[in-house]
Amino acid sequence: MQVQGTEHWTNKGEVRLFLWHKRAIETSPLQGTVLFVHGSSMASQPTFDLQVPGRPDSSVMAWFAERGFDTWCMDNEGYGRSDKRRPINCDIANGADDLEAGTEYVLRQSGARQLLVYGISSGALKAALFTQRRPERVARLALDAFVWTGERSPTLAERRKKLPEFLAKNRRPIDRSFVHSIFNRDHPGSADEATVEAFADAILALDDSMPTGTYVDMCSKLPLVDPAGIPVPTLLLRGEYDGIASIDDLLEFFRRLPNADKQFTVMAGISHASFQQKNYLTVYHLLHAFFSQPQPVYRG
């Protein structure tokens, strides 16, 4: 099946935001419209439309497009091809503002009434905060590598040591060794070297630095989201080895979600950056099942 990608642009006030769209050229009927939301240290296309020779289906956007979904991603302000002109650190709330503008554009362009929204890491926080603000735009919400309070998070405990540095500037430098550290900090070996190198190539082709705002928020301002304010069906995905959040932290968030249509899944053999892991097809399967799940006919 042939899948076509096209670039789009929208505005958040004077800020120009880049969107990438992939859909099969011949798709009937449409299974849903998905918006993928990236994390703190990479733009959207490297995360969701990665190409790795010898690794089939490395692009989650193409994989979903081949199964009848209309797929979109967007570079938040300060990332990738979106504007980087304003002297701000592009925090979680600012990312949720981006989603306000981006979802308005996607809904208008696609004709969809609601979106299937997936966010990873700080992108999960942005997606959750946006859903709390505008639940009428979200049909189903998937939160991968999510963190709620940050309690007993080894990743954030280590990151807090650099909080004064993050507070002192709006951007932080990244390089190839930094990209490798994403995969080595929790459980080395959960991602193969060729994928990590392709991921690094794609990230560094767009950026040599990243905003500090999401790091500041995750190190010093959690919780940013109230689970009671998220009324939509929600999936929590947690990698077995992911150090961004403890199981107890996520289970308490899950317990407080008000919609009975909710799922919590631990993904075996996966650490952070799940789409770039050796077990990436597990993530695709879980996400596809959730996004294609029929609505309950009986609610009691």
Q: What's the pLDDT tens digit per position in 243-298?
A: 999 999 999 999 999 999 999 999 999 999 999 999 999 999 999 999 999 989 99
Using DSSP bridges, classify how beta strands 209-211 and 138-144 pair: parallel, antiparallel or unpaired. unpaired
Q: Which domain holds residue 255?
A: 3-291
Distance CA 287, CA 28 (A): 20
Q: Is residue 296 part of a domain?
A: no
Q: Label residue 29 by pLDDT band (50, 70, 90).
A: confident
126-154 CB burial, b ≥16 within 10 A, e <16: bbbbbbbeebebbbbbbbbbbbbbbeebe
Q: Is residue 15 part of a domain?
A: yes
Q: What is the mean pLDDT of residues 196-202?
A: 98
Q: Is residue 298 part of a domain?
A: no
Q: Is residue 297 part of a domain?
A: no
Q: Is residue 195 part of a domain?
A: yes
- Read off the pTM: 0.98
Task: Determine the pLDDT at residue 26.
Answer: 79
Q: Is residue 61 part of a domain?
A: yes
Domain count, the chain: 1
Q: Label residue 42 by pLDDT band (50, 70, 90).
A: very high
Q: Is residue 69 part of a domain?
A: yes
Q: What is the CATH number of the domain that holds 99?
A: 3.40.50.1820
Q: Is residue 189 part of a domain?
A: yes
Q: Is 165 helix (H, G, I), strand (E, B) or coil?
A: helix
